[in-house]
């Protein structure tokens, strides 16, 4: 049995999110979402902080097609399956599911988190999911951005000559 197969219980298929959610009744679920194309220390720090806000952390990961629409044809670098496996390997992450839309509106309706967390480069009122979270009664937490750590900067450095 490989290390990654031991993590399969953390990857929740989209069509089973609601039944998994029901099994977690009474737990304070923290949800966040993103592309997580090239995992870096900024992501790891942010996810650990998000996990500390509740009983468990559930991540919504943009599908490959969604990442292409949001980031351009050269992305993602890593497949959705690979991105979910790497995220699932983090001790701060309890569950990971992918979603195909460009915003997390539909997956949020299924997960129904107590807290929705985003990185410091976002503002609460401008989040596309702001209204639905408000209607659900979910708290929105913007966590500090880790300066100088981004996938875009990593890709720029990789392309530039030494």
How would residue 1 be classed by pLDDT, with cut points 50, 70 and 90? very low
Q: Give the rounded distance of the alpha carbon of 45 from its chain centre.
A: 13
Query: What pLDDT score was predicted for residue 121?
Result: 79
In three-state secondary structure terms, 129 is coil
Tell me the CATH class for 5-159.
alpha beta
Reduced to 3 states (helix: H, G, I; strand: E, B; else coil), residue 61 is strand
pLDDT tens digits along 41-77: 889 999 999 999 999 999 999 999 999 999 999 999 9
- What's the pLDDT score for residue 158? 67
- Rounded CA gap, 69 and 3, in Å? 32
Q: Answer yes or no: are the C-beta atoms of 14 and 107 closer than 8 Å.
A: yes
Global confidence as pTM:
0.90
C-alpha–C-alpha distance, residues 99 and 65, integer Å: 10
pLDDT at 4 over 70: no
- Among residues 120, 154, 155, 159, the alpha carbon closest in space to that of 41 is found at 154
Q: How far apart are CA 93 and CA 137, in angstroms?
A: 23
């Amino acid at each position: 049995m490989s290390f990654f197969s031991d993590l399969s219980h953390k990857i929740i298929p989209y069509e089973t999110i609601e039944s998994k959610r029901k099994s977690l009744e009474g737990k304070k679920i923290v949800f966040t979402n993103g592309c997580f194309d090239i995992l870096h220390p900024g992501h790891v720090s942010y996810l650990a902080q998000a996990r500390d806000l509740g009983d468990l952390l559930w991540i919504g990961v943009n599908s490959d097609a969604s990442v292409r629409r949001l980031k351009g044809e050269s992305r993602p670098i890593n497949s959705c399956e690979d991105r979910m496996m790497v995220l699932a390997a983090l001790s701060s992450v309890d569950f990971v599911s992918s979603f195909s839309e460009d915003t997390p509106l539909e997956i949020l309706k299924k997960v129904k988190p107590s807290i929705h967390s985003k990185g410091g480069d976002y503002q609460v009122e401008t989040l596309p999911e702001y209204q639905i979270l408000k209607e659900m009664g979910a708290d929105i937490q913007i966590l500090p951005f880790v300066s100088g750590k981004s996938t875009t900067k990593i890709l720029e450095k990789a392309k530039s000559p030494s």
